[in-house]
Amino acid sequence: MKYIKIITVLLFSISLLSACSSTDDEQANMENYARDDLFGEKGQSRGITNKTMDEALASALEAEQRGDLDKALYYYIQCLEFEPDNSKVLYRIARIHDKQGNHSIAERAYKEALAKEPDILLAYQYLGIIQMQKKQYKQAQGYLQKAIHLDQKRLTDLGGKKEGGYYALDKASPTNSYSVSGIIEDMHHNFELARIYYNLALHQDENSANLLSNLGYSYYLTGDLTLAERYYRRAINVDTKFKRAWTNLGLVYARKGQYNRAIKTFKQVMPEFDAYNDLGYFVMLEGRLDEAEFFFQKAIDMSPSYFKKAYANLEQVQMRKRELWLAEQEAHGMESDEGTKPTEPVKASSEAQQIRSK
């Protein structure tokens, strides 16, 4: 059977309606529901091999369970030929495309599923995540909040327990909707709400290194370094290879001025010269130019062939220092008549001096 575009088949079916037998009508109807647009780049189906919806769905589920997503997609699209308005099938098609990175097709299929059944909670979640990946934060927040609203309504109906104005999550809850919403709220400086979302998700998945790290970063953003350190350490205890938690923990020590600890922490997930370069970049952003200059030079000395990046960072620091020096000289010249002394150069912290002496 050839799969023909929907509009073409409709026109063809109408023109031959009076001449079709009941068998021809059924075949035209099946062709009308063929969904070539949902196959993506993998090609089109090779014809219907199942005689009923139940057979097609069973074939799809079996293929998906064994990890053959292309074949599962083929059978799910066959299901639409039997039941074109089946929202659950459209959702499964969307999930396969989502997993395969075909996000534009996945987004279209999620939306079509929701048009048929507006309360598919997880469809809103995955649409929100797709928008988040596209950095469309407002749209992402809209979808994620819809998922959270539906989940809270479901939990209300179940008579759940409230925590901080929200019902505690259960295994059916879309935890990613809460955790990703937390990230967006942190971006908007709504830290209290962000932490409510993280903790709701954590109570359902207390060993999530990602959630623990996100909560740590929320506290880092508000300068609560002790709590940030605590959550980063918990994340590392869950997953000792979790690079983001190690890196962020290093930033906590760098902000505290504990440079030796920062270097040792960075070295858990990167070479030593990278650790010095990253530390230098951080302290440069903090305005500690003498320390930054030293750390960039240290990175270059450890790996001379390394990094244009370290050289560029060193040049940037030296340029900033010169600009500050020139501004200071200009200010001193304007105020010299009043007897004002020029500002002394900023000295490196004691810990940076200790590192320098080693």
**Rounded Cα distance, 302 and 263, in Å:** 14
Q: State the burial class of residue 330 (Cβ atoms within 10 Å of its Cβ: 0-12, 13-18, 19+).
A: exposed
Sign of the C-alpha dihedral computed for residues 258, 260, 265 and 267 taken in this order = positive
- Torsion from C-alpha of 109, 112, 114, 115, nearest 10 degrees: 180
Q: CA nearest 295: which of 356, 357, 358?
A: 356
Which residues are 29's β-sheet partners? none
| pTM for the whole structure | 0.75
Domain 119-206 sits in CATH at 1.25.40.10
SS3 162: strand
- Tokens linked to 173: 């809850």
CA distances from 49 to 52, 161, 274 (A): 9, 49, 57
Count of CB atoms within 10 A of residue 329's CB?
A: 11
Is the separation of the CB atoms in 3 and 81 below 8 Å?
no
Measured CA to CA, the distance from residue 145 to residue 150 in angstroms comes to 9
**Amino acid identity of 120?**
I
* pLDDT at 306 (0 to 100): 55
Quick one: pLDDT at residue 257? 92
Domain extents in the chain: 119-206, 273-333+348-358
SS3 content of the chain, % helix, strand, coil (to 5): 75, 0, 25
Is residue 64 a contact partner of residue 97, using CB atoms and an 8 Å limit?
Answer: no
Structure confidence at residue 111 (pLDDT): 96
What pLDDT, on a 0 to 100 scale, did the predictor assign at position 344?
42
Contact 356, 294 (CB under 8 A): yes
Report mean pLDDT in 10-residue bins for the chain, 358 residues: 34 31 42 58 58 91 94 92 93 96 95 96 98 96 98 91 86 96 97 96 94 98 97 97 96 95 95 90 86 84 65 66 69 55 44 48
